[in-house]
Chains A and B, each alone.
Chain A
Amino acid sequence: MDRELRRGTLEMVLLRLLEEDDRYGYELITALDERSGGAIVVKDGTLYAVLYRLEASGWVEPYWRTQERGVPRKYYRITEAGREKLERSLDDWFTYVDAVGRIVGTRKGKR
């Protein structure tokens, strides 16, 4: 996938995953990889930079949870502002995808 396209949508995708459930970094990386069929693979370090940005914007908040193994793990949860941001982003995204789809057609139509 094109790097710029991936970068532009990464925040929205992460907010969507966090809307489903609170997750920690490794879970997010794994979910991105598995649910995108390997199309969205980000370097682990990049993920944290994006999470910092989301946090600075007030869209997610981190908290530490201690596991049974005794090692604390940092989870991220979406905030109300994050949900509102996600809703706006999804609206924009589907409007854009629909519009582009009407011009270039679907993958099936292309073939």
Chain B
Amino acid sequence: MSAIDGYVGDVLEWIPQCLPARARIEADLRSHLADRVEAGESEAAAVSRMGAPEDVAREFLAQLDLRPATLLRRGAAFLIDVALGLVLLAPVLLLASVAFEGGLDWGTGPPWFTILIVAGVALALSIPVLSVVYFPLLEGLWGQTIGKRAVGICVVKETGERADWAAVIIRRFPFYFDFFWLDALFAPFTKRRQRAFDLVARTLVVRIQARRP
């Protein structure tokens, strides 16, 4: 890996993948470093003039207009994610119920009754499964779940930096211990629409806005 690739990668490490500005920042950094190299500098010398990767990333992020996502969008994203959980879990449970015949009387009971029970169990299981695995994994990797992506919002640190693993796990605590509604009550009353555990994790859910090219 070249010094330029390494440096650009280090800067981008701090910038959430879900922000459209990320691609632009990368293009600007590469173009600028290429100009320095073309002017006769070594890659290492060109990189040394840029500043520490985290400082450069923070300076870029400080210029972005990160606006809190509306509660409506956040709610819509959550419903999409739960619906996805249901769709994914229900067939699994249905197959399981068929495999273990003793659990559900597939042969004599009406099919709708079986489906109703499976859907209920799927709903009961989907939120814990989503909370423990789905939300932290996707938010840690990309800053957004499928639902958040669908409605154009994303999780970042209060500084605009990429939300790290600790942050995305901490902001899920209310889901693990079943006090989500209490936690969510904070959001309408905080300036940046943060849940109580967004405040603890120092995270924000922001609206993704397309930038001019």
Contact = CB atoms under 8 A, between A and B. Distances in A.
Contact of A26 (B36, B63, B64, B65): B36
A44 B28 CA distance: 11
Interface string A65-104: 0000101111000000000000000000000000000000
A56 interface: yes
A69 B50 CA distance: 24
B62 A49 contact: yes
A15 B50 CA distance: 21
A45 interface: yes
Nearest to A48: B28
B213 to A, nearest CB: 8
Nearest to B39: A26
Q: For the complex, would chain A's binding face be called helix, strand, loop or mixed by DSSP majority?
A: helix
A80 B162 CA distance: 36
Contacts of A69: 38
Contacts of A48: 25, 28-29, 32, 59-60
B-side interface size class: 20 to 34
Given A26-B39, A44-B32, A45-B56, A52 B63 contact: yes
Nearest to B36: A26
B35 A43 contact: no
Nearest to A25: B32
A52 B31 contact: no
Interface in B83-97: none
B20 to A, nearest CB: 13
A44 B49 contact: yes
Interface of A: 24-26, 43-46, 48-49, 52-53, 55-56, 69, 71-74
29 contacts: A24-B35, A25-B28, A25-B35, A26-B32, A26-B35, A43-B49, A43-B55, A43-B56, A44-B36, A44-B49, A44-B51, A45-B50, A45-B51, A45-B55, A45-B56, A45-B59, A45-B60, A46-B51, A46-B56, A48-B25, A48-B29, A48-B32, A48-B60, A49-B56, A49-B59, A49-B60, A49-B63, A56-B65, A74-B28
